[in-house]
Chain A
């Protein structure tokens, strides 16, 4: 409630001092800046979380020297990356080479706008929310392809080509598994999807097909973010650094940050679609709406942790096995799953409280 009252005050004040059009634009810029600032920092802390989680899996301590429990470690790293000289190759296609990181970072930051953090706290409640998410997250791969292609490095090129193959394949599964859930909700608007889940989270409502869809989504989602066991794009034991071999400084940081924000996005989509977004389990904190933020972030971080768990346990797939998994297993299962879900909805066999 507090956040809403603050934004309302700002809104009223802006509209009182300037014409409507200008005020709207100023408002948009303010919100964009707030989101950018918040998620750039959140991305940094995801990096720290990953490093601590990795250390925990690997019998190490992880960064714990810069600030208490190492909380300023990634800040310091970011500061280093910002102040670093941008080196590049002479023979790179300079225009595309410089453009590529922005595609990646912009696409991941744009996707964040639609998430319902609480009932009121949603920047952009578009009526084709899920479609928007899928569309925006596909843009990122263009950046990776451009980056790998334009940096005139064979390792980068192999990485980029792998990325293209991988992302295009797995986007199908992401899209189809989300579509399975849309059958249950009957809407693409994220706020309404959350509304539907007041009768039980969708993973409960859709029971067996929903759980299958969730598993497929998590596998495909991990592949979408190019993380292990699907990290063929930057498979360090094969390609050195993969598509961002030739990038340094802040441009590299964009790729790096985008990976972590993408991970957050994949987990946040799963939270919204399968686990009731800001809804608390059994409605235990319904009387305090602003607690929704914590539920949302809590569930998301749990899923992020799951993805980190994958990364630090599994070996990497080979490129042909990656495609076999998608086209021969996930996609057919997914298509059958949609039909099952449709029958379920048709016969009204869903579980509702």
Chain B
């Protein structure tokens, strides 16, 4: 970091310089600090500096019971909080070898997909904002708002939901739930084409994103990219498809793959995923099985001695939960493999040589949530 390269062209001596992007910067969407080495407008090096929102969730988990850990996971990737909860719950349930009712599985899947749509609409709005089209932000929020209202009615919270608990759900769904979800799907089917008209088809937007921040399939695999970032490079990595959990084994959906690996491909994959999520919800919403919404667990959950791993597909990619238990009521060690951390690691690789504007556009399609990276 201390070396500053001097570039001598014929008559002028110029110098590379450092610039701090963040921790307070509109494009980093949180407290991420990027130390950029820039030559004029061209990026020479990007060094992410983490730790501004580190809350040691993994260490805190060693102190907490398994029910309490679920609550901490909300605060990692707050835009897919339900899916994070589900990861821990599934890990605990698998360790205890609990038989989970079908009703729980279906409801979890529906809400996971709603969460994914909510996260992607927010990302879409912010993506537009990052490339300078401010209006998209409000369009995205309009549709996300409807999902948040459904969540609020279902479990009382809009963002950090805590609807999952080891063994099932906190409460049964609200009587209006099915109708409201149907209303939302009907609404969103008319609004999603509007997204394409406003942003996807725009010439300036395509110029800004096509051929920018290209990630090859080999790099995607070696950097551990997952989620839409990996799939846009042609790396088939959808956990829902390869290791189905909850009700994903009983629904038909396509894994959206693209081969370009550029910013526009990542954009397109996410927009297409919203269609797929809607299709998954439509398949499940009409036949939510009757039954219990929770199986009885002990008030103090003690996992058997051993190591347990569960991975789920959040809106950002593969979230892994790795629990080492010594047979007590707390985990001996818990480790979260968060998608944002791996996706951030390839930022330097794909942005070097681009302009500052390219960095912002590329970072927007990595869809970083900083608390997910820092934990």
Which residues of A pack against B, CB within 8 Å? 54, 57-60, 154-155, 158, 228-229, 231-232, 235-240, 312-321
CB-contact partner of B130 in A60, A158, A237, under 8 A:
A237
| B27, B129, B198: most-surrounded residue (chain A CB, <10 A) | B27
CA–CA, A67 and B232, complex, Å: 51
**What are 20 A-to-B residue pairs whose CB atoms are below 8 Å?**
A54-B134, A58-B134, A58-B135, A60-B138, A158-B356, A228-B132, A231-B132, A232-B357, A235-B132, A235-B357, A238-B357, A238-B360, A239-B356, A313-B135, A314-B204, A315-B199, A315-B204, A315-B205, A315-B208, A317-B207
CA–CA, A236 and B24, complex, Å: 12
Interface flag for B139 (CB, 8 Å): yes
CA–CA, A239 and B357, complex, Å: 9
Beyond A236-B26, A237-B27, A319-B41, is A155–B134 a contact (Cβ under 8 Å)?
no
Chain B residues lying within 8 Å of A320, measured Cβ to Cβ, are: 41, 355
User: Which residues of B from 1 to 27 have beta carbons under 8 Å from A?
Assistant: 17, 19, 25-27
Chain B residues lying within 8 Å of A154, measured Cβ to Cβ, are: 17, 19
Do residues B139 and A315 form an inter-chain contact, with CB atoms below 8 A?
no
Whole-angstrom distance between the Cβ of B37 and the nearest chain A Cβ = 12
Beyond A314-B204, A317-B207, A321-B207, is A237–B133 a contact (Cβ under 8 Å)?
no
Whole-angstrom distance between the Cβ of B31 and the nearest chain A Cβ = 15
- The closest CB in chain B to the CB of A314 belongs to B204
- The closest CB in chain A to the CB of B207 belongs to A321
CB-contact partner of B132 in A58, A158, A229, under 8 A:
A229
- The closest CB in chain A to the CB of B139 belongs to A59
- The closest CB in chain B to the CB of A313 belongs to B135
Chain B residues lying within 8 Å of A319, measured Cβ to Cβ, are: 41, 355, 357
Whole-angstrom distance between the Cβ of B191 and the nearest chain A Cβ = 11
Whole-angstrom distance between the Cβ of B26 and the nearest chain A Cβ = 5
Chain A residues lying within 8 Å of B208, measured Cβ to Cβ, are: 315-318, 321
CA–CA, A235 and B129, complex, Å: 10
| B25, B129, B199: most-surrounded residue (chain A CB, <10 A) | B25
Closest 3 CB pairs of A and B: A316-B132, A58-B138, A315-B133
CA–CA, A321 and B132, complex, Å: 14
Q: 0/1 per residue, B124-144, Cβ < 8 Å to A?
A: 000011111111011100100
User: Which residues of B from 334 to 366 have beta carbons under 8 Å from A?
Assistant: 355-358, 360
Whole-angstrom distance between the Cβ of B123 and the nearest chain A Cβ = 14
Chain A residues lying within 8 Å of B139, measured Cβ to Cβ, are: 58-59
| B130, B204, B360: most-surrounded residue (chain A CB, <10 A) | B204
Whole-angstrom distance between the Cβ of A309 and the nearest chain B Cβ = 11
Interface flag for B202 (CB, 8 Å): yes
CA–CA, A280 and B216, complex, Å: 61
Chain A residues lying within 8 Å of B205, measured Cβ to Cβ, are: 315
Beyond A229-B132, A237-B129, is A318–B358 a contact (Cβ under 8 Å)?
yes
- Count of chain B residues near A, Cβ 8 A: 30
Whole-angstrom distance between the Cβ of B40 and the nearest chain A Cβ = 8
Chain A residues lying within 8 Å of B199, measured Cβ to Cβ, are: 315
Chain A residues lying within 8 Å of B133, measured Cβ to Cβ, are: 228, 313-316
CA–CA, A54 and B134, complex, Å: 9
Chain B residues lying within 8 Å of A313, measured Cβ to Cβ, are: 133, 135, 198
CB-contact partner of B41 in A54, A158, A237, A314, under 8 A:
A158
Do residues A314 and B19 form an inter-chain contact, with CB atoms below 8 A?
no
- The closest CB in chain B to the CB of A155 belongs to B19
Chain A residues lying within 8 Å of B130, measured Cβ to Cβ, are: 237
Beyond A231-B132, A316-B131, A317-B207, is A240–B202 a contact (Cβ under 8 Å)?
no
Do residues B26 and A237 form an inter-chain contact, with CB atoms below 8 A?
yes
Do residues B357 and A318 form an inter-chain contact, with CB atoms below 8 A?
yes
Whole-angstrom distance between the Cβ of B160 and the nearest chain A Cβ = 26
Do residues A312 and B26 form an inter-chain contact, with CB atoms below 8 A?
no
Chain A residues lying within 8 Å of B202, measured Cβ to Cβ, are: 314-315
Whole-angstrom distance between the Cβ of B138 and the nearest chain A Cβ = 4
CA–CA, A238 and B208, complex, Å: 14
Whole-angstrom distance between the Cβ of A164 and the nearest chain B Cβ = 13
- The closest CB in chain B to the CB of A235 belongs to B132
Beyond A315-B199, A318-B357, is A229–B41 a contact (Cβ under 8 Å)?
no
Chain B residues lying within 8 Å of A239, measured Cβ to Cβ, are: 356
CA–CA, A66 and B325, complex, Å: 61
CA–CA, A223 and B274, complex, Å: 36
Whole-angstrom distance between the Cβ of A52 and the nearest chain B Cβ = 14
CA–CA, A314 and B199, complex, Å: 8
Do residues B26 and A240 form an inter-chain contact, with CB atoms below 8 A?
yes
Q: 0/1 per residue, B92-123, Cβ < 8 Å to A?
A: 00000000000000000000000000000000
Chain A residues lying within 8 Å of B204, measured Cβ to Cβ, are: 229, 314-317, 321
Chain B residues lying within 8 Å of A312, measured Cβ to Cβ, are: 134-135
CA–CA, A188 and B128, complex, Å: 42
Do residues A237 and B360 form an inter-chain contact, with CB atoms below 8 A?
yes
CA–CA, A154 and B21, complex, Å: 11
Whole-angstrom distance between the Cβ of B29 and the nearest chain A Cβ = 10
CA–CA, A59 and B41, complex, Å: 35
CA–CA, A238 and B38, complex, Å: 13
Do residues B138 and A315 form an inter-chain contact, with CB atoms below 8 A?
no
CA–CA, A239 and B41, complex, Å: 12
Chain B residues lying within 8 Å of A158, measured Cβ to Cβ, are: 19, 41, 356
Do residues A59 and B17 form an inter-chain contact, with CB atoms below 8 A?
no
User: Which residues of B from 182 to 202 have beta carbons under 8 Å from A?
Assistant: 198-199, 202
